[in-house]
A and B are shown apart, each in its own frame.
Chain A
């Protein structure tokens, strides 16, 4: 039988996971806290460099989300992905 690999597969499970990480006092969890919330340091989200991102009037600017596809660069991390 195929093993379950993704830790969560629905919104409810995602919430349980996030809350559990956010509430944990285990030092070993600070990396995951920095990714899933609950910690302000560690991984800085940033907004890219060399200039700010201009939002279209009243709209979202997420290149990835609009097409549902991945982009050459992540919108918030300026890393080439192509």
Chain B
């Protein structure tokens, strides 16, 4: 069930990050959106959420204030929004979160978010030299100094996590030291958005998913090693989730694991769409006619793209179903699987990287266990080479025709 709603409360941003899926990866949908979400849209959404809650017996929801840049709205908007949600669904539990670029985030904002129980997440791209290359204002000036200041104030005001996009141009050691110097107890990494026909800048098209080309795995393994050897390590969600999955725990998100994706985006005008980074596939892919002013929330369950997105770890290519690490990576993030030729019927652009990384962590965990435990649990080290070899042969499980048809329906050829 979808219980996490990302509200695009602002469709514009005060930054112009070079890799941003909202503005710079091919989709101009934002130009047709109102600049800000109105309180009337919040009201309608809360009423529809109350109905959805009753219909499905749900009492817990996550509301993420997102953009564009959500701090472009006035403080009053947040006071009013939280009041509307908590009064309209008075017996529900809400987890409110805001994701901001940190520009203008000062003590007054933190005080408000503390008062309203809104958790704060800040995006940052590592040391100044790199952050200022990508996360820039519209005049080209970097935003590092303002963001670092916001993080430092945040450390005294409850904020404890920073999100960053993995960047092969930054040495893992330099990135790690940057976050250590910020003193944040937690940071996390996302792999860059992109797909087979719009690769992240660092990837060489002809070499993607070839045997000896695993730049992200090599980078992440180096970072993992640094992190693991640090006795005062901060939390790193990306690695922690992989370790939990390898150990057999129930974990995961839209990138890894087998859980369903329980997230929907509410656009500034009230449209209900799948995660907005999917827009990077091609212009208008996430568009549909579902709007909270005219539809119930449960209408999303009839939308074919929502069907694939929610079930993206079950609807995977044949190669993925037969892959030994399928239960760990779950076929990866939907956007990263896309190609104009096959739609979503591919392993991701990070397939070989994930195999190498997961193999490394699995073997490290096995090596940490006593021999008798490995024997008792019948654990054996597995190599990257062995898995690739296994993938070269056709596996015993075939993809169901109806699932394949759904995945290739988004092909452009």
Contact = CB atoms under 8 A, between A and B. Distances in A.
Interface of A: 2-9, 13-14, 16-17, 20-21, 24, 26, 28-32, 34-36, 41-46, 48-56, 59-64, 66-75, 77-82
B10 to A, nearest CB: 16
Contacts, number: 259
The SS class assigned to the B binding surface is mixed
A13 B373 CA distance: 10
Contact of B254 (A13, A50, A51, A70): A70
Nearest to A77: B237
Contact of B60 (A4, A30, A56, A80): A56
15 contacts: A2-B390, A3-B380, A21-B368, A36-B247, A49-B157, A49-B159, A49-B160, A51-B113, A60-B60, A63-B3, A70-B252, A70-B259, A70-B261, A71-B62, A78-B119
B325 A5 contact: yes
Nearest to B91: A56
B387 interface: yes
Contact of A73 (B97, B116, B376): B97
Contact of B260 (A4, A7, A66, A69): A69
Interface stretch (B33-41, B43-51, B228-236, B292-300): B228-236
Interface stretch (B11-19, B133-141, B205-213, B238-246): B238-246
Nearest to B97: A73
A55 B60 CA distance: 9
Contacts of B265: 82
A74 B253 contact: yes
Given A53-B95, A73-B119, A68 B240 contact: no
Contacts of A75: 62, 95
Contact of B117 (A45, A51, A71, A72): A51
